[in-house]
């Protein structure tokens, strides 16, 4: 990877952007997400979070499994508001 390598395709975050956040003191994926928008786009981090987790583990010098993933938030894939509005009373 070089500095222009894209980590988060949805929000256009490259490796240099991630390194800036680490340099600014971010030490959790949640902080990187909230400050840098990484993982906030339509795919909700499916591509970028594993990459970012590896980079964060390297940066902190800790095993990958110690990196906490941000909460997985519904919906599991993007849904139009119109479809949700038309939903009849089947699940609740």
Partner 1 sequence: MINKDAVIIGGGITGCSTAYHLARLGLKNVAVVERGHLTSGATGRCGAGFRHQWSTEANCLLAKHAIARLMTLADELDFPGGLEIKLGGYLILAATADLAVQLRENVALQNRLGIDSRWVSPEEAREIAPLLNTRGIVGAAFCARDGHANPFLTTLAYARAAERLGGEIYPHTVVRDIKVAGRLKTVSTSRETFQTPVVVDAAGGEAASITAMVGAGLPVYPYRHQILVTEPLEAALTPMILSFHHHLYCQQTPHGSFIMGLGDPNEPPGLNINPGWRFLREMAQKVTSLLPALAQVHVVRQWAGLYDMSPDSQPVLDELPQVEGFYVAAGFSGHGFMIAPLTGELMAQLILGCPSTLPMDMFRLSRFAGGHLQLEASVV
Continuous segment of H or E residues that includes residue 7 = strand 6-8
Alpha carbon distance 18, 32 (integer Å)? 8
Distance CA 51, CA 8 (A): 9
Contacts for 60 with CB less than 8 Å, ≥ 6 apart: 27, 67
Q: Of 28, 46, 57, 59, which one interacts with partner 1 (CB under 8 A)?
A: 28
Stretch that binds partner 1, among 1-9, 53-61, 80-88 (CB under 8 A): 80-88
Q: Provide the token pair at 38.
A: 């990484």
Three-state DSSP class for residue 92: coil
Among the listed ranges 1-9, 40-48, 55-63, the one in contact with partner 1 (CB under 8 A) is 40-48
Q: How far is the CB of 30 from partner 1 (least distance, A)?
A: 6
Q: Pick the stretch among 1-9, 25-33, 47-55, 57-65 that binds partner 1 (CB under 8 A).
A: 25-33
Binding footprint of partner 1 on the chain (CB under 8 A): 27-28, 30-31, 34-35, 37, 40-42, 44, 71, 73-75, 78-85, 87, 91-92
């Amino acid at each position: 990877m070089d500095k222009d390598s894209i980590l988060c395709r949805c929000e256009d975050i490259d490796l240099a952007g991630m390194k800036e956040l680490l340099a600014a003191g971010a030490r959790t994926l949640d902080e990187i997400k909230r400050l840098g928008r990484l993982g906030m786009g339509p795919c909700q981090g499916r591509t970028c979070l594993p990459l970012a987790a590896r980079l964060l583990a390297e940066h902190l010098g800790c095993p990958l499994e110690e990196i906490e993933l941000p909460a997985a938030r519904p919906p599991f894939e993007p849904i139009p508001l119109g479809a949700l509005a038309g939903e009849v009373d089947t699940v609740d």
